[in-house]
Amino acid sequence: MKKKYIKIIVIIGVLIISAFALNTILGNERPIVPTVVNGVLDLRNYEFNGSKPVAMDGEWEFVPNKLLNSAEFNMQPSYLVPVPSLWTKYDLDGKKVPKYTSGTYRIRILVKDPTEVLGLKTTNIRMSNAIYLDGKLLDKSGIPAENSTYTPHNIPYVSYFSPGAKEIELIVHVANFDYASGGGILGSIYIGDQKSIGKLQGNSLAYDWVTIAAFSTMFIYFLGSYLHARIGVEQLFFSLFCFANVLNAVSHGEKVFLELFPSTSYAIFERFQSLSSIWIGLFILCFFAAALKPFANKGIVNFLYMLGILLTGSALLPVKMNSSLQIYYSLYIFIILVYIFYLQIISISKKTIGAYYLIFSTCTIFIYFTVGTLNVTTNYALNIIPPLFPFICLTMLSLYISHRFMDSFLKKEDLSKALLRVDKLKDEFLAKTSHEFRTPLHGIIAISQSMLEDRKSSLKVEEEEKMGLILGTAQRLSNLVNDILDFSKLKEGDLRVHIVPVDLFSITHVVVETFTYMIDKDVKVVNYIERGQFVMADEERLRQILYNLIDNAVKYTIRGQVEISCYELEENIVLEVSDTGIGIAPENVKLVFEPFRQYSNFSGGTGLGLSVTKELVHIQGGTISVDSVVNKGTTFSVTLPRATHLDEAKQHPFSLPIPFMIENKNRKKVIIADDDHVNLKVLIDTLMTEDYFIVAVDSGKAVIEQMRKHPDADLVILDIMMPEVSGYEVCQQLRKSYLPSELPILMLTAAVRPEDMIAAFQSGANDFLHKPFDTSELKTRIRNLLLMKESSENAVKMEVAFLQAQIKPHFIYNVLNSILSLSYLDLDKARTMITDFSNFMRGSFSFENTHSLVPLKKELTLIQSYVNIHRTRFPEQLKWEVQLEDSLHCLIPPLLLQPIVENAILHGLKMKEGQGTVSLTVKKENNLIVFQIMDNGIGMSEQLLQQIWNTEKEKGHGVGLQNIEKRLKYYENAFMHISSEENKGTIVEIVFPLLISEKEGR
């Protein structure tokens, strides 16, 4: 410990001794020069010869409070005063000169050669001055006056003149009505020949500009370094310390700031001077407090910070008030230097890296500050070459920062090696555990999803919310497991890609369709990519890239739009995914592709998706970039090689006529579609062994065309990825005319994500099979789907036959008797009734009723025939009303509405006195059609209504309604609801999916 303190003392001692030694050496080297004695400077025996000029220091004549010319000066009593000095230090017969006043200085100069060109150089005459040579104005700074109307301006200047005589008189007018410490000639006025004065001015300017350049360079360098890396806040404070020194250099010495900006008022310039002094102290404190943070006392540092901020504010006060605080500025800097020195002693004792650089720099600052303060506040001029000390300080502090960064770099290099080893172990652990997580996670998802979707479940609302939370968490974990596995494969280089020409429109369209079913908020995904764009990529991995980017865009967009577009760039295609979401902060843009990094906590996640996406793009020979504006949106751009030509031989290695057909009459008809002819050939060969009627096409558009030609198809097998129209779109189109039980659809895809399966099922698919598939599995699934269709058709036929059997014989007898009676009374009515009865019987027992769907028009015709028969028999009993959109053409199950209308007429109005009303309303609501049959009859009690749904009750009550409800269960979103009130009537509402019939029935 003692050795450390000895080193500190030695460093300080060496600096001080060196300074004083240099002062002595330089002082000894100076030649003996004349001084001003009794107001006279004798230069007759002094030869300039381009050497150093003479400082006109000594005893000047002085008249206070007045600005006099030569004649007036001779008439006034004058005093001999020391120059340079503040006039407030003068003792004029026991009186002090006021701070705010004016005064006249005079000196007589004796020269050897009156023809020699001489020059004068001022340094610091406060606050304005004018110099007269033999009564003529030589030069000035500001406009001195005997009151406060003067113009302050204190900058050094140089003037040249020819004496013209061996004795010359120099009068200096000085005025100060602003600066609190007083005015006067504070700095030496130099006289010399033209060469020596020019050299003196050049040296002063050179020193100022070198200082400005040195500190400016360090300011820009360390500020740029900090802004680039955003680490090491001491770099920022050091750059600000350098900036304060630049400000100090331009506002002191030769005051080059006023030379550069002469229109600046001196009041503003004086504030620059004050701020530069305060900021030097404040920022050097900030630097050392950050560099030696473990040793700094937070309370003391904060106190000094606040004090510096207060002093900064005081610099903006008027000049009189501000200048009166100059002593406090110096005291503030002195306190900071003492505290910094204390911190450095502690840091050295704790073996802090680079502490000796800091102690060395602090000593130079301290000596420089002390010398400067003494030169200003005392009558002693200490020439201890302080001009070198700022550069020594700058060098030491720069070396300290460099040393710190080099040490940090070496430590980080060692840590990086250790982290690489740990990272490898981590990847192995994650990969192994992720495989083990998959099975239990899928079990959790399946169980929780089944419980939520089970209508018979007795879960309470709170329990459903918790179950939904479990499902969401399990799904996020499942996605995380998939990302981790992909990430591990990418890091190990185990992920293989198969680069082929890929239809960008088709693959994008399929992914967009997937999100159409998944999004549960007000966000729309729009695909602006045109057909005919091909890139060289791996189809499955490109799909994964698109999925990740769109999923990311949707996740961070509350409402708005996600757009997918592309454009050609030289030999590449740039694919862009843009959103109108929350955007990414500029500081986070570079982090978005780093593993386990998130640019927002807005929507959870793990931060792996974009990292995996970046690697997938790179292994396919592409690049990815991001451009974002906060609160406006983000655009991810993926650049991939453009497929310049498509090799038809590779695309179609088999010469298949499209459409390709194998006609086996009276066999099940299967339509298959795949844009890859290799896959299409495999499907054809597989189905040929089963003796199916096969229609094979290679596009979604062709599937729709073939369905128009073969409306009786039994099964459709679709590949999701097809040009022009995707498998999702084809499925949606078919579901507008065919129910899942009527036309099973099997989808094929290479995608393995659960979201693709969900999208397929939501678009209307019956089953889903991953590529590559086993042909035995494909055959089994086809058989199962065809058996399901056949069973469904048989069930419908049986149910309709059962419903037809409900037509009671006595109804037929009553109608026939009514016809017979009318034939005697009104032959026209009898004929009309025969026609209606014939239509009713034909409609009820039509073979078309064994089909699963019939046009709505046929059902309405059947109902109208029945109503007409009843109105003919009981003309005063029934009022019939129908409300129907004329343009509404759709398909419904046969005998869906007629039994309900019959029930309303027979049971609803049977016991009602007077005329009753039965109405039928048909209306469209979104993708549903709603039927409402309403009567104003006797209604039903709640107890009787329950009996209708109870199959164990006595026959004759509600058998038709039970059959209708049972058939509705075969259709998605179809149901029946009955509401009734005694003595008021009954309302039966049936909701059925809107199935448009291009022809009036099939």
pLDDT at 252 over 90: no
% of the chain at pLDDT higher than 70: 77
Q: Pairing state of beta strands 715-719 and 745-749? A: parallel
Residue 420 confidence class, pLDDT cut points 50, 70, 90: confident
Out of 258-272, 342-356, 360-374, 760-774, pick the least confident: 360-374
Residue 982 confidence class, pLDDT cut points 50, 70, 90: confident
Question: To the nearest whole number, what is the mean pLDDT of the chain?
Answer: 79
- In the chain, the amino acid numbered 124 is N
pLDDT at 862: 78
Q: How many angstroms separate the first and last alpha carbons of the chain?
A: 104
More confident residue, 121 or 847: 121
Cβ atoms < 10 Å from Cβ of 515: 20
pLDDT at 570 over 60: yes
Q: What is the DSSP letter of 849?
A: G
Secondary structure of 398-451 as H, E, C letters: HHHHHHHHHHHHHHHHHHHHHHHHHHHHHHHHHHHHHHHHHHHHHHHHHHHHHH
More confident residue, 887 or 761: 761
pLDDT at 972: 74
Helical packing angle, 389-453 and 266-291, nearest 10°: 70
Nearest to 641 by CA among 453, 814, 500, 475: 500
CA distance 437 to 39: 101
Residue 811 confidence class, pLDDT cut points 50, 70, 90: low
Tokens linked to 233? 């806040």
Residue 564 in contact with residue 533, Cβ under 8 Å?
no
More confident residue, 280 or 189: 189
Burial class (CB in 10 A: 0-12, 13-18, 19+), 666: exposed
602 dihedral zone (left: phi>0; alpha: psi -120 to 50; beta)? alpha
% of the chain at pLDDT higher than 90: 18
Average pLDDT over residues 552-560: 86
Q: Pairing state of beta strands 523-527 and 560-569? A: parallel
Residue 349 confidence class, pLDDT cut points 50, 70, 90: confident
Cβ atoms < 10 Å from Cβ of 606: 17
pLDDT at 66: 94
Q: State pLDDT tens for residues 589-641.
A: 877 887 766 655 555 555 677 888 888 898 888 999 999 888 888 999 999 99
Q: State pLDDT tens for residues 28-83.
A: 444 567 999 999 999 988 888 767 899 999 999 999 999 999 999 999 999 999 99
Out of 139-148, 413-422, 667-676, 907-916, pick the least confident: 907-916
Nearest to 62 by CA among 48, 50, 76: 76
Residue 1002 confidence class, pLDDT cut points 50, 70, 90: very low
Main-chain phi, psi angles of 602, to 5 degrees:
-60, -35
Nearest to 88 by CA among 126, 59, 122: 126
Q: State pLDDT tens for residues 423-433.
A: 777 767 766 67
pLDDT at 133 over 90: yes
More confident residue, 530 or 836: 530
Q: State pLDDT tens for residues 496-541.
A: 788 888 888 888 887 887 777 667 788 888 989 887 788 999 888 8
Average pLDDT over residues 347-354: 71
pLDDT at 25 over 50: no
pLDDT at 819: 59
pLDDT at 454: 62
Residue 861 confidence class, pLDDT cut points 50, 70, 90: confident
pLDDT at 60: 95
Tell me the domains of the chain and their CATH numbers.
Answer: 40-203 (2.60.120.260), 205-410 (1.20.1070), 424-485 (no CATH), 499-641 (3.30.565.10), 648-795 (3.40.50.2300), 806-993 (3.30.565.10)
Q: State pLDDT tens for residues 312-336.
A: 888 888 888 888 888 888 888 888 8
pLDDT at 652 over 50: no
Nearest to 19 by CA among 393, 384, 387, 388: 384
pLDDT at 191 over 90: yes
Out of 326-340, 650-664, 812-826, pick the least confident: 812-826
**Tokens 């109105």 sit on residue:** 871
Nearest to 181 by CA among 330, 27, 16, 25: 330
pLDDT at 456 over 50: yes
Residue 576 confidence class, pLDDT cut points 50, 70, 90: very high
Q: State pLDDT tens for residues 690-723.
A: 888 999 998 888 898 888 888 888 999 998 877 7
Residue 582 in contact with residue 559, Cβ under 8 Å?
no
pLDDT at 764: 86
pLDDT at 887: 60
pLDDT at 397 over 50: yes
CA distance 360 to 342: 13
pLDDT at 229: 74
pLDDT at 64: 95
Tokens linked to 859? 């059902």
Residue 850 confidence class, pLDDT cut points 50, 70, 90: very low
pLDDT at 145: 95
Out of 11-25, 158-172, 393-407, 705-719, pick the least confident: 11-25
pLDDT at 258 over 90: no
pLDDT at 956: 41
pLDDT at 744: 92
